Amino acid sequence: MNPGLRSSLVVVAALAALSPVALVGCSSSSTQSAEAAAQVASGAVLIDVRTPEEFAGGHLDGALNIDVQSADFDARITELDPAGTYLIYCRSGNRSAAAIETMEGLGFTNLSDLGSLSEAADATGVAIVR
């Protein structure tokens, strides 16, 4: 077989193998967005765990600002109902993951990590306000 043709077939086969993965990724992303939007509609609480300065620069409309890096994070979180539904976001997804880990340790069970501000806005349909 021609080496150029063989290389082309390998690329086509690789792309074909990845297509179902890409479709599943899109599907689950859409499912997560629909779920997050439904949770907001049913009263889930949005929590922005960035600094107050970051929050002031833009946040989801109606979100609480509870800075995960502040000394009073645990105290402020324990003021919330552990049986509630909470959607957590930050700048990149790192601090929201840390916040969820802490909240789980405090007995919270219905938590979703929405990642960054823009990802959270896309997933929930909630506007970013400044």
Residues marked as catalytic:
90
Beta bridge partners of 46: 87
The distance from CA 73 to its chain's CA centroid, rounded to whole angstroms, is 19
Beta bridge partners of 86: 45, 111
